[in-house]
Structure 1
Amino acid sequence: MAGGPSVRCCCCGAQLPLLVGRGLGLLLLLLLLPPVPSTQARSLRFVTLLYRHGDRSPVKAYPKDPHQEGEWPQGFGQLTKEGMLQHWELGQALRLRYQGFLNASYHREEVFVRSTDFDRTLMSAEANLAGLFPVEGAQSFNPNITWQPIPVHTVPEAQDKQTHGLPLPSWASPQTMQRLRQLKDLSFRFLFGMYRPTEKARLQGGVLLAQIRKNLTWAASASQHSKLLVYSAHDTTLVALQMALGIYNGEQAPYASCHMFELYQEDDGNFSVEMYFRNDSTQAPWPLALPGCSQRCPLPDFLHLTLPVVPENWEQECQVLSSLADTEVIVALAVCGSILFLLILLLLTVLFRMQAQPPGYRHVADGEDHA
């Protein structure tokens, strides 16, 4: 081996066997290369859902409606059995979509559900959770009950078809119902768009969007956080949010439709947001792209693009405080004016009666008739 081929070390000039020289050269090359960043698989980190309640009975009836409140088992504005089934099926679909992300059984640290304070939204959330987390194993408290109570939080309100076996009145032709749907869609565009749409978006959907932005930012930065945040609300809530995002399609959100925000951590460690809208139980959710961004939108871009429609001070921008103050002044002036009017009326009444009544004592001259 001593007489074998050799190379000169570039560092010290010593003659080294060829194999050793090659090994040192490879080691030097590895030391000079930049470090390879550690990679991780792309993973889902956090989900926010906003869905509309399920099918409900009419909120109210028109004056000559043949089907008044008594014909609905729970009265007006209540979730129907069809609505319960719609949300149970949505819960089942969500269970399949997030299988492996959420635990198969309910864990309170993972899930938080908030609902508006209406029977139909509260009951929709409960039906949805029954489909999302069917009771199993140790969580079963009765072998005959395949349901478990899961908390739904709340804080202290659309053109419906008569699809519940009740006959439609004679005037409700398909053409008339289509016209009513068009008018309903027009009312939504008028309410949330047309005139000063950006300002409306800030003061309507921008409030909820601000909270969603905070939740996404928190989930991207906190080491421990919940996995699923759910809002059970109304068609107007969904439309207001989609108007603020610039993705509203101009139609009323169907019963049990669901807007999804999914926060992913990419393999390079950065975060992105994807949005989907489930408005048809027979099809996969539609991917949605925020205007100005791709469907897989980097979180910083999502936050930057949605910032203009987030109110900095909702009360001040809505002039809620000044409106309340003006109302108080108007009420106070009205009360004072009413009191002053009553006092003047009372005074005039007293004076009129004093002039109309004869005096209590009158001098009678001699010779008058006293009969």
Structure 2
Amino acid sequence: MWSFFLVILLLIMSNFNVTSQSQQTVLEPKSEFCCTNASKLIFGIVLFRHGIRNINNFNYPNDPYKDEIHWPEGFGQLTNEGKQQIYELGQFFRRRYGELLGNKYSPNKVYVRSSDVDRTLMSALACLAALFEPTDDEIWHKSINPIKWQPIPVHTVPIKLDYALWGPEDCPKFWTAHEKYQKESPEVQRIYTEYADEFAHWSEMCGKNLTTILDVFNLYHTLYIESIQNKILPDWAREAIKPNGTMEYITSFYFKMASGTKELARLQTGFLLKEIFELFAQKINSTLQPNRLLWLYSAHDYTVSSLLNSLGLFELHVPPFSASVHMELYEAGDKEHCIQIFYRKSNEENLTPMEILNYGQKCCTLERLYELYGDIIPGDHDEECGIQD
């Protein structure tokens, strides 16, 4: 009889401990201000992927389209379809942020930054062409048929110095941690074991020995881009890139790997997140100079996926061309502020705020974001990366 009561007591205590631990990881937001219909949008930060591009020079030996002659714009360059796609994204920005921005461009309203890559720089320019079509008094091309376009600055920094948008190009600690993660992660090892036959089959078909998830990632992008540009693919390739298939899954998993641990997230995305949080803080404290309304980042698929994954908001998929992450600051009442995060995959007009990880709400104060993600906000870059003078 006593042993029976002892078992019951242990079960109760075990359940209590699990509940307590769960409550420690989920922060209670009930007493905080949350965005309502009465809230006013005062600042937006948007990160978007460039438009449709040509294949990179990561082709495979048996690829009938491996020579650059098949890609008139050049390897990795934005296509006309990609320009149109990003122009339409800019039109969406005009509809979403038009009331905030007004009709005329001003450097005091918007700041645009791009990675130092042709396709992202061109995407930023195409987006701005739609976002700020010149008003009558802004038209500079005096002609019967004036050009409905105005030059707007896009800022960039060299890739090796772009810790925010390009990532840890020159960060020894990141690559050491990334190699360790690949060797020790049960998920990674499961992919190599479970899909060994697929790796072997694709290797035989493409004429290249595929030994890593990155190899499959590069092959998928080559085949996918060739397919959407109406290139005739062999049967094996069409089968490999079927939606929701194994190759797409492995490619999607690669996006998760770059920020698969806290350390990786801190070094991969932390510098971008740090900059975003600092911009929000300056806006809230009225110290943002100039006091801009919109901040745009033109970047890459892995920039989008790593930001979402570091925030705990990434579901395995390949971020589409022109996908965008919107982080918006709202104000209401007596200087109360909240932030909402949205993800636009394709052509959605009405965006739904995402639920913040371990928080249970679709809006959050900046202070709470710092509490939730403070462990992936880095300090000095060289110190974090172990770079010696």
TM over 0.5: yes
Q: Of the candidates 148, 151, 154, which is equivalent to residue 152 of structure 1?
A: 154
What is the rounded CA distance, in whole Å, between the counterparts of 1:252 and 1:291 in structure 2?
21
Q: Secondary structure at the match of 2:382?
A: helix
Contact 2:249/2:316 (8 A) holds in 1: no
List per-residue Cα deviations over 1:145-202 (Å, max 9, x = no partner). 1111111011127623321132123321234543321221122233321xxx111111
TM-score, normalised to structure 2's length?
0.68
Counterpart for residue 49 of structure 1: 46
Counterpart residue type for residue 336 of structure 2: N
User: Which residue of structure 2 lines up, in the alignment, with residue 346 of structure 1?
Assistant: none
Q: How many angstroms does 1:99 deviate by?
A: 2.2
1:310 pairs with 2:310: no
Within the candidate set 220, 225, 235, 2:301 is matched to 235
Which residue identity lines up with residue 369 of structure 2 in the other structure? F
CA distance in 1, matches of 2:348, 2:308: 22
Measured in 2, the distance between the counterparts of 1:282 and 1:42 equals 22
* Counterpart in the other structure of 2:337: 271
CA distance in 1, matches of 2:314, 2:380: 25
Extract structure 1 runs of 4+ deviating beyond 4 A.
none
Q: Which has the higher contact order (CA 8 A, sep 6+)?
A: 2
Amino acid at match of 1:180: M
Deviations 1:270-325 (A, max 9, x none): 1110110111214533421221332121222122212111012332222122xxx7
The question of 1:190 aligning with 2:257 is answered yes
Q: For 1:231 and 1:80, locate their aligned partners in 2 and report how far apart those are by CA, in whole Å.
A: 20
1:257 is aligned to 2:254: no
TM-score, normalisation: structure 1: 0.72
SS of corresponding position for 1:297? coil
Q: Give the conservation status (yes or no) of the 8 Å contact 2:259–2:310.
A: no
Once the two structures are aligned, what percentage of the paired residues are identical? 35
Amino acid at match of 2:304: L
Q: Structure 1, unaligned stretches of length 5 or more? A: 1-40, 326-371
Q: Quote the Cα distance in structure 2 between the aligned partners of 1:165 and 1:100.
A: 39
Partner Cα separation in structure 2 for residue 181 and residue 64 of structure 1: 20
1:46 positional shift = 0.8
Contact 1:66 1:169 in 2 (8 A): no
Task: Note if contact 1:52-1:256 (Cα within 8 Å) is conserved in structure 2.
Answer: yes
Counterpart of 1:201 (choices 250, 265, 274) is 265
Q: Secondary structure at the match of 1:138?
A: helix
Aligned equivalent of 1:33:
none
What is the SS of the residue equivalent to 2:47?
strand
SS in 2 for 1:70: helix
Q: Do the aligned residues in 1 keep the contact of 2:342 with 2:352 (CA within 8 Å)?
A: yes
Structure 2 runs not aligned, ≥5 long: 1-37, 159-165, 167-217
Greater helix percent: which structure? 2
Q: How far apart in 1 are the matches of 2:240 and 2:306?
A: 28
Moved more, 251-260 or 152-161: 152-161
Name the CA shift for 1:175/1:65 in 2 (closer, same or farther; >3 Å): closer
Cα root mean square deviation, aligned: 1.9
Rg comparison, structure with higher value: 1
- Find the residue that maps to 2:374 and give its secondary structure: helix
Aligned equivalents of 2:281, 2:253: Cα separation in 1: 35
CA distance in 2, matches of 1:69, 1:186: 29
